[in-house]
Structure 1
Amino acid sequence: MKCPSVRSTAVSDDPRKTVGQTPTPDDGRPVKAARPEDARQKRARGSSETRPESRNGSRSGRGSRTGVVTGVLSAVVILAAGGGAVAAATMVPQPSGGTATDIRQADVPAGRSLGVCPEQARLVSGTVVGTDADFSPVSTTASSALNAVVLSNPAGTVPGTKVTSLAGDQVAEIAKAPTSTPSPTAGPPVLAAGTASISPVTAPAVVGADPIGNEQASLAANLSYSATDGDLRGSAVAPCQQPGNDSWLLGANTSLGRTAVLNVSNASETPATVSLDLFGYQGQIQAPGARGLLVAPGTTRSVNLAGLAPGEAQLAVRVRSTGGPVAATVQQSVLRGLVPGGVEFLAPGNGPANLQVMAGVDIQDPAALKALSGKAGFPDAVPALQIAVPGTADAVVQVRLYGANGERKLPSGGVVTVKGGTVATLNLDGVPAGSYTVAASSDVSFVASTRVARGSNAEEATDFAWSPSSSRLGSQHLVAVPRDGQRFLAFGVPEGRATVSYAPVTDDGAVGKAVDVDISGGTTSMIELPAKSGEAVVAGYVVSASGDPVYGALFLGKQGRNDVSVVAIQDAAAGLEKVPVSVGY
């Protein structure tokens, strides 16, 4: 991976405003090992733990008697059937009663924080027959950059952080591993950061941060791409993903003039076997080449989705892997004749759920969009909500839009029925121009993503973006921002009231003073971000939220151009995890 320009810093700064810590999850379940004799001895002693209780906590005489009779009858049958075996067993000395220790909380060792970044967008060349895509060089004006931020612990110690290739070769060092880890002192945290901006990016990369204090490091990174000429004209930004074994990607399109290339990267040391579940307008698509795709350690496999599902205008892809975890994105581009229609990286959103929320949905003038969508080749040049229902049950989805001044009703009524196993698209036409948060709910689990469109002249290049569904914000989310262009933080509060704080992180490693914003329920706030904080360039933000549920995204554009991209704010780093463990003998 060629990196002519690398800027990285990791310094401490003075104490700043207190930022809340991420709540510690407790996902483990007790594990108890006990000998078979324990249960028999308890029953012999008539332990109260085996006696049924009534709903209000008192013993039920009828239920208790029934249990005793049933137990006696069962014992008679067992003795009659195996009396010899029982008699023989009673002659063998039995061990003393089992002993169990108290349940204790065992610390789970924290792993490295990883972000797997795709390479810059490239043109597909050759035939679409088969699944593997060949690429040709992109335009002469194309540029790309990897932007990364890593946050210190409350004592101001920045964890060791590096950028490597998928194979593990070092590309850049963001922060050296600390020689010691001082414990946080009483009072406000002393936050610092390590930052980097690497350009150009010619191959997939991995940003990795070591754990510190047995907690995962707070890390955020993204890959930004931009071009002013060529078929891939426009902007695309992809978050660097934590690898996983199950993810959903919406917004793919393989119809005429549309190209969708799935890139699956394996940054682990274990081979990954990947299977793709494809869903279209008419249901699940059975493609023989979608199963058992081997992705070797330290490699990326590219799959041209037109070879698996040709002519699909709305395509959802579920990526599942066994063995090594993987990171997956779809490079989606549009070409209408000779006019570029935009490029974007489709990133995974939340998995199937009854509620999906997408922030950062900016809508242009509805009249201009309606006129454009009526032209041949432009049905996908308008904002729209895409919904996929994985199961067999139909989903009746209620859609609500929340703008700067409250909820906006959709002309269609905001209710759409999506058949089980299919994908449907609801155009968000007729909505006044402005920034919105889209909330969709149903009693059947589904996945969703929202398209943002830019440009209203059919003779000029247009662009598009997809805002995937995301989780509600908590404390200390880290957001990396590109160093150029227009940057906005978009926050949506569907109901209630919430407070959001955001503090700038500059390229010299300082964490600035947080700004608090009070947001009313049913509204969306778009906050334009400055290029600098003082004399230093802004590299990212620390975002925290309190109150009722808040959802956020990073909205990106270019002054005087139709370029657009949206990146959902990712989950905060996990704190120290504990698992309850009980050991007995």
Structure 2
Amino acid sequence: MSTRRGIRIVTGARVVAGAVVAAGCVLAVVLGASAPLPGIRNTPAVSTVSPVPGDTVIVCNGSFRALGRDSVRAEAMVSAAGPTLTVDRTQAEPEVAELAMPDVTGGAGAQSLTGVVVDRVAPLLSASESMTVDADDMRGFAAAPCREPATTSWLVGGDVSTGASDVIVLSNPGDVPATVQIDVYGEARAASTAVVPAGTQLGVPLASVAAGEPRPVVQVTSDGVPIRASLQSSLIRTLDPVGIDLQDGVTGPQDRLTLLGVQASHAPGDDATAVVLRVLSLEADAQAVVGVRPVGGAASDVEEFPVALTADVPAEVALSGLEPGVYDVEVTGTAPIVAAVRQTVRAGTQADFAWMTAAPEIVAETAFTVPRGPSATLLLKNNGAADVSVGLAGGGEDQQVLVPAGSSVSVPVRAGSSWRLSPSGPVRAAVTMVGDDADAKVAGWPLTPSAVNQQPIDVRP
């Protein structure tokens, strides 16, 4: 009997222990369900990379090309004038490579300048060229900086009407050929292709790709290697030459464009001698608002007017009511746009013109040169809400220029000089060169930031 009783006691103890364990499990499940679950947090890995600079390469256009001087071959091009080159020589001498100019008789001066990287630092390199032509079929002054090549450029300007002799200039400083696509926007679309050999410059008459277009805008796209695309223009009215120009391509459409240093002068009253804005909206109909303000003027001095834009069809507006002076032109679109302004100056029976393109934002030290020629001015525009101080070093002097918020200033700069521009905040800048009352000369171009000043890049997997 004692054995059986012992067995019962052991069995009962097991039952009690099992019940306790089961109750504990239930309690643990209940408490676990009511307790907050541990979260899994994954912070994305971010790596900040400073691009390794490459050699700085800029391309100079060289000779100004003239069409129609050979009565047998009207399309043949000859050199109308050679450039005077101004190079920033505050650092090591750049390496120079001459570009072949096989399609222009007497052509010279097309070249690439290379600033070589030293100790992972690329030099700030700048150069500019200017030329004056005084012939029976061509007269005027043209000037432009030497620019870095690009894979895509927009040429907003040019003319194919009677008396115009415009040439698209394609310069390939690379070691391999470039296949270049030329797309013309106008009342009808057109396209053409050109192959530019390595180390070569070629000219394409604008009339050959944009025949019949009164307001052409040209997109130049390079495959294989970046090129420099520019537009050389000359114009004859009746029998009188009325100017030449050298215009650079812009990088691409934007919602807001700033064009600086636009010259307005007295004109007889026709649109051909007024300030003329050409603007193109890409891919979509858009509404643009054009604001015009004298340099240094207050916000209340802005005159604004709307312009309706049809997708892919350039529009042109004459700003013929401006009083003589220097102006900033702001163009804001409801879709990305490209634009440029043609300005004309007169002195007696002489005339000259120049296209001014939009100025990009500059946030870091930038080098620029002013070529030889008439009086030159640096225009600075601050679109921000805070004042910006701009350091200018060059021309034998250093100075600080205050650019008020939302306003612009002008600073005289000496022709044939080299400069460094160092802003404390974002600014836009352009150079203009204008002759006196007895000498009709005008040229202008925006300053562009150097590829040397690339900002660090955040890389996320």
TM-score (norm 2): 0.82
Q: 1:500 to 1:259 in 2, by over 3 A?
A: farther
Aligned to 1:386: 278
CA contact (8 A) 1:356 1:470 kept: yes
Q: 1:572 to 1:297 in 2, by over 3 A?
A: closer
- For residue 49 of structure 1, report the CA deviation from its aligned partner: 6.0
Deviations 1:3-54 (A, max 9, x none): xxxxxxxxxxxxxxxxxxxxxxxxxxxxxxxxxxxxxxxxxxx99369xxxx
Q: 1:500 to 1:451 in 2, by over 3 A?
A: farther
- For residue 107 of structure 1, report the CA deviation from its aligned partner: 5.3
Aligned to 2:189: 285
Aligned to 2:413: 529
Map 1:106-505 → 2, pairs under 5 A = 108-125=51-68, 133-138=75-80, 142=81, 144-149=83-88, 158-166=91-99, 202-280=108-186, 282=187, 284-287=188-191, 290-291=192-193, 293-365=194-266, 369=267, 371-373=268-270, 379-391=271-283, 393-403=284-294, 404-407=296-299, 408-410=301-303, 413-455=304-346, 460-494=349-383, 496-505=385-394
Cα distance in 2 for partners of 1:250, 1:271 equals: 25
CA contact (8 A) 2:263 2:345 kept: no
Deviations 1:84-132 (A, max 9, x none): xxxxxxxxxxxxxxxx9x76555543211111111221211279999x9
Cα distance in 1 for partners of 2:93, 2:109 equals: 23
Amino acid at match of 2:362: L
**Superposed CA RMSD:** 3.1
Larger Rg over CA atoms? 2
- For residue 343 of structure 1, report the CA deviation from its aligned partner: 0.4
CA contact (8 A) 1:144 1:201 kept: no
Equivalences, count: 417
Question: Counting strand residues as a fraction of each chain, which structure ranks higher?
Answer: 2
Structure 2: runs of 5+ lacking an equivalent = 1-37, 101-105
Q: 1:338 to 1:221 in 2, by over 3 A?
A: same
Aligned to 1:566: 444
| Structure 2 SS opposite 1:565 | strand
Cα distance in 1 for partners of 2:288, 2:224 equals: 35
- For residue 499 of structure 1, report the CA deviation from its aligned partner: 3.1
CA contact (8 A) 1:115 1:206 kept: yes
Deviations 1:307-360 (A, max 9, x none): 122232211100001101110111111101221110001111241110111111
CA contact (8 A) 1:399 1:415 kept: yes
Amino acid at match of 1:541: W
Amino acid at match of 2:368: V
Cα distance in 2 for partners of 1:229, 1:127 equals: 15
CA contact (8 A) 1:497 1:519 kept: no
Q: 1:214 to 1:135 in 2, by over 3 A?
A: same
Aligned to 2:40: 48
Cα distance in 2 for partners of 1:258, 1:103 equals: 55
- For residue 420 of structure 1, report the CA deviation from its aligned partner: 0.4
Q: 1:580 to 1:357 in 2, by over 3 A?
A: closer
CA contact (8 A) 2:392 2:398 kept: yes
Cα distance in 2 for partners of 1:563, 1:344 equals: 10
Aligned to 1:188: none
CA contact (8 A) 1:498 1:521 kept: yes
Amino acid at match of 2:114: G
Aligned to 1:557: 434
Aligned to 2:7: none
Q: Percent identity?
A: 24
Cα distance in 1 for partners of 2:315, 2:377 equals: 29
| Structure 2 SS opposite 1:574 | helix
Q: 1:207 to 1:514 in 2, by over 3 A?
A: same
Deviations 1:272-324 (A, max 9, x none): 111111012x2x4224xx13x11110111211111122232211100001101
Deviations 1:243-273 (A, max 9, x none): 1111101111101111211010111011111
CA contact (8 A) 1:499 1:516 kept: no
Amino acid at match of 2:77: F
Q: 1:129 to 1:245 in 2, by over 3 A?
A: farther
